[in-house]
Amino acid sequence: MYNIIHIDEKWFDLTKKKETYYLVDGEEEPHRTCKSKNFVGKIMFIAAMARPRFDEEGNVKFSGKIGIFPFITKEPAKRSSVNRPAGTLETKAMTSVARETIKHFLIHTIVPAIQPKWPQEDANKVIIIQQDNARTHVDPNDANFCQAARQSGFDIRLMCQPPNFQDLNILDLGFFRALQSLRYKTVARTIDALAKAVEDTFDVYSVSKSNDIFLTWQLCMREIMKVKGANTYKIPHIGEAALVRQGLLPQQINCDASTVDEMLSLLN
């Protein structure tokens, strides 16, 4: 499963409505301001992640981080203010993202970002971009995407994950939640600062932890087969950190042949 790139979208807020602070005696309470606590500034991002690769000594050969890209636009200010004159370009977050916007980012941002980062030894193998089944996502047989994917010099294809299974996308399974927690450790007061904070957090996120999420993803697949395609399972864990210390972390999760045969019979 090293040839699958997971993509998905997520909103990141400038700040949380409620936050907890630990103060020493005499320290002033932090002062936060916004136009309305019910309309905190936020940006939608689209992220692309593949599974990391390591050499025999455990060094990172490929981080798997294709990129995280904000849905923002640059618009000239209509009126002057104390901060900038009229006509100055301001960063605005897109309030809604349509299918054409997703397709534009997929063709002109994500596909070009794959080419310089993908391991050269696998450049001639099929690369699959996995998306969920949102209405705004691109049809796997879209003519414009297929043409752009061929022009990249790679064999890039698009597929949708099974519906109603968020755990089958590593971004929803754990990556976005971890990224959000790390992001709140930095302060962002503007849209530009928020975009940079999210991108910086993405860059510094632990490669080994993202690899652990991919193993959990495989564990979820096995659990789904055990319950015959239902979603009445609990996310399993194998204690990846302890296995790493012992040098026993598996490269992939095995599944009993009887479980596979039972699922094939059920599908047939």
Domain that holds residue 162: 4-16+39-75+91-205
Domain count, the chain: 1
Encoded amino acid at 24, one letter: V
Which of 45, 147, 28 minimizes the C-alpha distance to 93? 45
Residue 220 is assigned to a structural domain of this protein: no
Residue 120 is assigned to a structural domain of this protein: yes
**How many residues are given for the chain?**
268
The pLDDT, as a whole number, for residue 168 is: 93
Gap between the terminal Cα atoms of the chain: 24
| pLDDT tens track for 106-152 | 999 999 999 899 998 888 899 999 999 888 889 999 999 999 888 87
Residue 146 is assigned to a structural domain of this protein: yes
What are the backbone angles phi and psi of residue 245, rounded to the nearest 5°? -60, -35
In sign, the C-alpha dihedral spanning 32, 38, 43, 44 is positive
Residue 233 is assigned to a structural domain of this protein: no
**Looking at the whole model, is its pTM more than 0.75?**
yes
Residue 32 is assigned to a structural domain of this protein: no
Q: How is the chain split among helix, strand and coil, in percent rounded to 5?
A: 35, 20, 45
How far apart CA 268 and CA 263 sit, in angstroms, is: 9
Residue 187 is assigned to a structural domain of this protein: yes
Q: What does each of the 268 residues of the chain score in pLDDT, given as a tens digit?
A: 899 999 999 999 988 888 888 999 999 888 877 777 778 889 999 999 999 999 888 899 999 999 999 999 988 888 888 778 888 888 888 888 889 999 999 999 999 999 899 998 888 899 999 999 888 889 999 999 999 888 878 899 999 998 888 899 999 999 999 999 998 888 888 899 999 999 999 999 999 999 999 999 999 999 999 999 888 899 998 998 899 889 898 999 999 999 999 999 999 9
Residue 25 is assigned to a structural domain of this protein: no
The CATH number covering residue 175 comes to 3.30.420.10
Residue 198 is assigned to a structural domain of this protein: yes
